[in-house]
A and B are shown apart, each in its own frame.
Chain A
Amino acid sequence: MSVAVQLGIIVVYLLVALAVGLLAYRLTEATAEDYYLASRSFGTLVLLFTTFATLLSAFTFFGGPNLAFSAGPEWLIVMGALDGVLFAVLWYVIGYKQWLVGRRNGYVTLGEMLGDRFGSPGLRGLVAGVSLIWLFPYVMLQQMGAGEALVGLSDGIVPYWAGAALITAFMILYVVLAGMRGVAWTDTIQGLFMLSIVWIAAIWVLAAVGGLGSATGSMLEARPDFGSFGGGLYTPGFIISSAITIAFGVTMFPQINQRFFVAESGAVLKRSFALWPVLVLLLFLPAFMLGAWAAGMPIDVAEGANVLPVVLNEYTPFWFAALVIAGAMAAMMSSSDSMLLSGSSYFTRDLYRPLINPDASASREAWLGRVGVAVFATLAFFASLLRPGTLIEVGDTAFSGFALLALPVICALYWDRTTRSGMIAGVAVPQIIYLALVLIPTLPRSFGGWDYALALMVLSAALTVGVSLVTSPTAESDASRFAVAGD
């Protein structure tokens, strides 16, 4: 009975989100700039929350508390430092300039921006292709998260595949129907919803276990090592490499990077940047501490299950637990629909049109973008059934893959002397090496807690600069495309 009510709450929540998307769809104009960027019209609240909700995925909402539960609350520090501070600074460093040149030259995607600057459809396609490769595991991650969430909530009555299938269906429906405006509107609602619900959950659980001091006290009784900073999994190498690869990786995520283009004004960008650390902290603190406190609670978390739903089922009414899971599903959906939307713009604008069919009509392009979304999400769904690793492992792989793009892009944005060959070498070589490290299981991924991706990031910068210095700019490249001096 209660499982049926819980499922009902989740489905109703997803339908409400869909309704908001449809409302926004009615306002969407039939241009790519409006479908993908909502005509660059976002104010502070919408920009802040759409970036926020897009960033918060299954990785944050379930993976985070799981890790805090098994390894200690230091995960709060890792994620706070990288998402709250390092990402914010990178957002300003990369995003501000991208926003300026994007507004001036009408760019919709990262690949388009670089392709135009260097006069190279090949570079454009390369950046889009690399991005789509790493987007795949990240979409999968959301489906895995949703599947596991429903298993946890329903005590296994709803099988894993059904939860994953449910979110896949909603994701596809959503992106096909609504564009960026719809996605951003629901993101804003969902961001506010998640933020309030997770605080209510924390207060509810704390009240049930006898307050903050007693929750921390029982946590330390069960796991004395949780009280001291560092130790166990959390070596300096792990903290630094996670923080750097994830923060740089996030800036190159198609769905995050595309949001660099959408601010209505510079003032919006500045307000969002300054509010960001506090907003991030407000969500991470209750979510991850709930996971850590759970270590001292008399609950039974099955192997591979998510800790958050178990805690909520134990200490809060079943309808409230369902609301939180709905919030988490919403987090995954708002990440996934943004990913698929951005992925579809990368595919149609940077790969299909320039390389396969330059004469495609706008309606053919729009149709193809939507079919692409359905195919991509369905393939990721089947891959997610294999469950190739934990949420954190799958997420980390994708983050590092994207992080390898960041330094060449910063180079292109700020150094006029960057050449096309420098960019292609700086993007392609580290990607090939990293793909080999990921796909060949016998090769090691880290050395003493330090992720090899960090070394590959250094390689990407060295190759971009080095090859640029020994080659000369091609006739088609035009550094003035990225100039921002008042003209």
Chain B
Amino acid sequence: MRRSRRDLVWIPILAVLIVFAVPWPLWGVDLVVAGLPVWIWWHIVWLGICSILFWRFVASGAWERGMGFDPSVEGGDRP
């Protein structure tokens, strides 16, 4: 159960990932970049970032520690 304080950093990270999947800062912006409205590009890039950070999150094992579950007891659940 070590590192539990560092695990908490995932709460704000996931919250930011969820909230800004909607491009709020671009509200009302009508700029077109490379054939698509710029806020659509934001969304595309954002979902890519989500995938990468989700991967880091599951690999960190933070959620297992949060649930009090030790994967090593039940066999190799590492991704």
Contact = CB atoms under 8 A, between A and B. Distances in A.
Given A213-B35, A216-B37, A80 B28 contact: no
B37 A285 contact: no
Interface string A84-97: 11101100110011
Q: Tell which of A220, A230, A275 has the most Cβ of chain B within 10 Å.
A: A230
Nearest to A247: B18
A315 to B, nearest CB: 17
Interface string B8-52: 000000100110011100111110101111011001100110110
A230 B28 contact: yes
Contacts of B74: 266, 486
Contacts of B50: 84-85, 88, 277
A76 interface: yes
Interface in A256-313: 265-267, 270-271, 273-278, 280-281, 285, 289
Contacts of B44: 281, 285
Contacts of A224: 30
Contact of A211 (B35, B37, B55): B35
Contacts of B35: 211-213, 215-216
A227 interface: yes
Contacts of A81: 18, 21-22, 43
Interface string A206-232: 000001110110001000101111110
By size class, the interface of chain A is 35 or more
A228 B47 contact: no
Nearest to B28: A228
Given A81-B18, A211-B35, A220-B32, A486 B43 contact: no
A77 interface: yes
A484 B37 contact: no
Given A76-B43, A229-B29, A277-B54, A89 B14 contact: yes
Nearest to B68: A485
A281 B46 CA distance: 10
B36 A216 contact: yes
Contacts of A273: 54, 58
Contacts of B27: 229-230
A76 B79 CA distance: 30
Contacts of A65: none
A64 interface: no
Contacts of A227: 30, 32, 37
Contacts of B70: 485-486
A229 B18 contact: no
A86 B18 contact: yes
Contacts of A266: 71, 74, 77
Contacts of A228: 28-30, 37
A277 B37 contact: no
A484 B77 contact: no
Interface in A471-487: 483-487
A211 B22 CA distance: 26
Interface of B: 14, 17-18, 21-23, 26-30, 32, 34-37, 39-40, 43-44, 47-48, 50-51, 54-55, 58-59, 63, 67-74, 76-79
